Structure 1
Amino acid sequence: MTRVGVVTFPGSLDDRDALRAVRLAGGEGVALWHDDPDLQGVEAVILPGGFSYGDYLRCGAIARFAPVMESIVKAAGDGMPVLGICNGFQILCEAHLLPGGLTRNHHLHFRNRDQWLRVESVTTAWTGRFDAGQNILIPLKSGEGSYVADEKTLDLLESSGRIVARYVPGKGLAEGDHNPNGSLRDIAGITNEAGNVVGLMPHPEHAVEALTGPSVDGLGFFTSVLSALSGKVSA
């Protein structure tokens, strides 16, 4: 069974949810601790949502220096799939595994709602089970979720197919209110050049069961990485 690690930082909120999502997808979830550099032989890593180290300084700024991150940065460089969700996305940017950064929502309010996304790239380790252009519905909950980067970086992400998902209009959203945080170019998630590291602001781990989620669309991120690691990726 494929082992997928989920890191717990002080202030993590969604680590158990991510572990459950891995199990529902058919993998073995392995709890990793922020202060321990040992990745315990996992084949992929998830940095979950929450408020690591209380979000002091900047979101993810302290977590970037956790002992476990030294191992994750090296493993990511060697091709290990890494997914950062919400606060995890912020940590990936602080660790320079992904370009740009996440800033305060443009309206300066915490936004919590079910959010429509369009999957733009299905060539990453975390999106291979989706169809290009597929619309999915998963929860979003963040106060600092606005993705920003300079124009050169944004153009590069566009031209190289590294925008993983965008915010799009959908049922239940007011007209013109599809972008929940002011992210440039409606970006909800991006990937690195190799496609193994993905940052996503909404929370797929909260859309894996019909009983509790607005859909089961989020499960595709977890089944995708299991398929990628078994060499059976299909769109």
Structure 2
Amino acid sequence: MARIGVVTFPGTLDDRDAARAVRLAGAESVNLFHADSSLQDVDAVVLPGGFSYGDYLRAGAISRFSPIMERVVDAANGGMPVLGICNGFQVLTEVHLLPGSMIKNDHLHFVCRDQVLRVENNDTAWTNAYEAGEEITIPLKNQDGQYVADEHTLDEPRGRGPRRVPLRGREPQRLAPRHRGRDQRARQRGGPHASPRARRRGGLRPRLA
């Protein structure tokens, strides 16, 4: 059975979720902490999401100096699979295991939605249980979710094809303007898409059955 280490920093929120996902995938979850000096002979490492060290300075900036990250960097350079999720991805850019950086979303708002991903390459440690071309849905939530890098870095994955991009996102579906206007008017007058307050104002009551 594979042993997958899940790293917890001060401010990490999603380490329990990551550990549960590891177990559901059939592996053993191993708790690793920011101050540890050993990876406990794990076969791979997950850096989960959250707000490591409160995101002071910038997201992931302080975590790069944690003792465990020196071991993670050495292991990754030696070929060990490392997965960074949300804040974990930001930490990986700070230790330069990944190029580029993450900044705030261009609209400066927190994003929380389901995101559809297409499996472009299923020949990786993290995607080999999927079929090539399969579509999966994951929860997406971030505020610093805008990836920035120089043009050479951005062009490199595209130039090498899908093997450098194992998962590709699909834009979320949005209502056409006329539908948005129609639904907005329906909400205002207590129609079928109305909010509970508008339903009460329009004389409608939610169905309890």
Tell me if both proteins adopt one fold, taking TM over 0.5 as the criterion.
yes
Q: Percent identity?
A: 62
Count of residue pairs the alignment pairs up: 174
Q: Taking CA–CA contacts closer than 8 Å with sequence separation of 6 or more, which of the two structures ends up with the larger relative contact order?
A: 1
Contact 1:101 1:147 in 2 (8 A): yes
Post-superposition offset of 1:175: 5.5
CA offsets, 1:115-171, max 9 Å, x none? 11222222322112223332211101100011111111111111223123222135x
Distance 2:60 2:91 in 1: 4
CA offsets, 1:57-81, max 9 Å, x none? 1111110111000000000111111
Query: Corresponding residue for 1:169?
Result: 171
What SS does the aligned partner of 2:112 have? strand
TM-score computed with the length of structure 2 as normaliser: 0.79
Distance 2:43 2:175 in 1: 42
Please list, as runs of the form range in 1=range in 2, the aligned pairs for 1:1-235 lying within 5 A after superposition: 1-160=1-160, 161-169=163-171, 173-174=173-174
Contact 1:169 1:175 in 2 (8 A): no
Contact 1:12 1:50 in 2 (8 A): yes
Contact 1:14 1:49 in 2 (8 A): yes
What SS does the aligned partner of 2:126 have? coil
What SS does the aligned partner of 1:72 have? helix
What SS does the aligned partner of 2:138 have? strand
Matched letter for residue 126 of structure 2: W
Query: Corresponding residue for 2:185?
Result: none
Distance 2:74 2:5 in 1: 15
Greater C-alpha Rg: 2
Post-superposition offset of 1:6: 0.2
What SS does the aligned partner of 1:105 have? coil
Gaps of 5+ in 1: 177-235
145-154 or 65-74, which deviates more: 145-154
Matched letter for residue 129 of structure 1: A
Distance 2:52 2:175 in 1: 34
Query: Corresponding residue for 1:209?
Result: none
